[in-house]
Amino acid sequence: MKYKNNFFESVLSLCLVAILLNGCKNKEDKSSINVQEKPNIIFILADDLGAHDLSYSGSKYYETPNIDAIANDGVQFTQGYAAAQVCSPSRASLMTGQYTARHGVTDWIGAATGKKWGDYYNTKVMPPEYAHAIPEESITIAEALKQNGYKTFFAGKWHIGDEPHSPENNGFDINIGGWEVGGPKGGYYAPWRNPKLDYKYEGENLTKRLALETADFISTNKDEPFFAFLSFYAVHGPIETTQEKWSKYRNKAEAQGIPESGFEMEARLPIRNVQDNPIYAGLVESMDDAVGVVLKRLKELGIDDNTIIVFTSDNGGVASGDAFSTTNFPLRGGKGYQWEGGIREPYLIKVPMLKNTPKSIDYPVSGIDFYPTLLDLVGAKKDPKQIIDGVSLVPLLKGKPLDTRPLFWHYPHYGNQGGDPVSIIRKEEYKLIHYWEDGHDELYNLSNDPGEKNNISKKEDVIAKSLRVELDTYLKNMNAKIPEVYADYDAAKAAKKQQERRTKMLQRLEKQRKNFLSKDFDPNNNWYDSSLNTKD
């Protein structure tokens, strides 16, 4: 009997030990999972936001405390680039990790090409055809993450393919507001026109609504890894704001001193040279407010420490053409241009689970790098069928170096904003631009000439020739499409049009700028319907 009791006592003791060990193991495993579980990802993409349209990057006029918080808590890539100077190609590159010449979307979808372009615009060359959607065989970043167990969500501007090339058919489980168009049809205040997103009440703010939809998705899926892509229509035209925000920035411009002139001539069109547009400033702040909605929800749910946040833009700020909204000074040009103002972007990555990351990184990076970087950060496998031109930036985030590499751009089109058909290579501090109209090259040393004022192609002819060979080799390997000569080009007609831009257009823009800053400015009877919006 004693033996039997000892036996059961021994068994009981072993069971208790097992239970305790198992409990400890479970506790240990849970802790391990909390550290090693797949992080969430929020990718925030602004539309047409310039590199210097944010407080943290030097703007003394625009106010962006929420985006500044991402910059301050994360890593600022001071030489971050979009993959193109206009939206559709840049966005296709974000989705695929590929250069524009590879995926074939080289211009904004809807732009004219060939003789149709030449006959209407009377230019020296005719832009080539381009793909009107992400190639079907591509594995998008959403599809790659979905294959690795992520719930995927898209909200906002798509503009990289009409049906059947929608977000839903490119790896996103949910699509709120993403369709073929590139701007907010009907404006930023309801009633807007969007077949993928109806408004709830008149005067509703589209930018805030997209943020709220994203925040609600996060709440619903907080217990599983998610990839939320918040793609604002802001700050694309039409630029609109509330009367309250306009008044705030109108008064701020006056307090800072309003220059007599706000524009000068660039190569083809007038270009804005001062940040004092109160309507655009209000639109920028509304977008920043919306970013704050998402950041606040993350914190409320207690998952901010396990969520990677990316913030960037698809091309430079609109300094010329469109709404002539901002200036990218000290960078030259803006959206649609081949210079730094057209392709240099805010480029922020916040990775809370990585400790002691650098505050800022000067290594030149591109939109093509987000794809491999995010996969690397969450330990997701890359589909072997997908060619990726970008590189993982994780070594840089960990304070380690990366090898020097060239970056390429191929934009064989005319920008609506005044840019030229070009191909570009940047390697180390040098940037070479090849112009397809006449075949000439420009070379800039960005380390001492970020404003691209001094073309040193003749002075540094050895470097220029070497970079040109590398660029030509790249274009040949990519089988890149190039423009053709427009045989019916009328030089006299083009000169007359250019003269009108230097006089009538410049005068009209200055008059409009003064009107925006007038105390009596009233865009319509109800301020873009925004006065109806009591919930904004």
Are the beta carbons of 263 and 509 closer than 8 angstroms? yes
* Furthest C-alpha separation in the chain: 116
DSSP conformation class of 344: B
At 189, is the secondary structure helix, strand, or coil?
Answer: strand
Q: Is the backbone of residue 324 left (phi > 0), alpha (psi -120 to 50) or beta?
A: left
User: At the topology level of CATH, where does 422-482 sit?
Assistant: Arylsulfatase, C-terminal domain (3.30.1120)
- Sequence-ordered alpha helix ranges (H) in 221-328: 243-256, 278-301
At 269, is the secondary structure helix, strand, or coil?
Answer: coil
pLDDT for position 3: 35
Are the beta carbons of 315 and 297 closer than 8 angstroms? no
Query: What tokens does 319 get?
Result: 């300094």
pLDDT for position 214: 98
Query: Which regions in the chain score pLDDT beneath 50?
Result: 1-36, 533-536
Q: CB atoms < 10 A from the CB of 335, how many? A: 34
Find the angle CA(81)-CA(506)-CA(517) to the nearest 5 degrees: 80
At 227, is the secondary structure helix, strand, or coil?
Answer: strand
User: According to the 3-state scheme, what is the secondary structure of 55-90?
Assistant: CCCCCCCCCCHHHHHHHHHCEEECCEECCCCCHHHH
At 255, is the secondary structure helix, strand, or coil?
Answer: helix
Task: Sort strands 422-427 and 407-411 into parallel, antiparallel or unpaired.
Answer: antiparallel
CA pair distance 51, 87, nearest whole angstrom: 15
Same fold for the domain at 39-404+491-532 and the one at 422-482? no
> Closest Cα to residue 343, out of 18, 48, 140?
48
Give the CA distances from residue 200 to residues 105, 206, 236, 291, in Å, rounded to whole numbers and listed in that order: 34, 10, 22, 20
Amino acid identity at 490: D
Instruction: Sketch the domain layout of the chain as residue ranges.
Output: 39-404+491-532, 422-482
Query: What tokens does 103 get?
Result: 């995926």
Residue with tokens 């698809």, as numbered in its chain: 314
Query: What tokens does 462 get?
Result: 């050895």
Amino acid identity at 148: N
The total number of residues written for the chain in this structure: 536
Give the CA distances from residue 324 to residues 124, 272, 319, 496, 497, in Å, rounded to whole numbers and listed in that order: 25, 6, 5, 22, 19
pTM of the model: 0.91
Residue with tokens 């190639």, as numbered in its chain: 135
> Closest Cα to residue 405, out of 368, 439, 440?
368
Residue with tokens 């006449």, as numbered in its chain: 438
At 34, is the secondary structure helix, strand, or coil?
Answer: helix
Amino acid identity at 305: D
Domain 39-404+491-532 has CATH 3.40.720.10: yes
pLDDT for position 225: 97
Residue with tokens 């500044």, as numbered in its chain: 68
pLDDT for position 11: 38
pLDDT for position 524: 77
CA pair distance 324, 340, nearest whole angstrom: 17
Axis crossing angle, helix 87-96 with helix 370-377, rounded to the nearest 10: 30
Long-range contact list for 177-183, CB < 8 A, 24+ apart? 177/206, 177/210, 177/213, 178/154, 178/231, 180/109, 182/87, 182/88, 182/108, 182/109, 182/110, 182/157, 182/236, 183/157, 183/233, 183/236, 183/237, 183/238
CA pair distance 88, 493, nearest whole angstrom: 31
Are the beta carbons of 266 and 417 closer than 8 angstroms? no
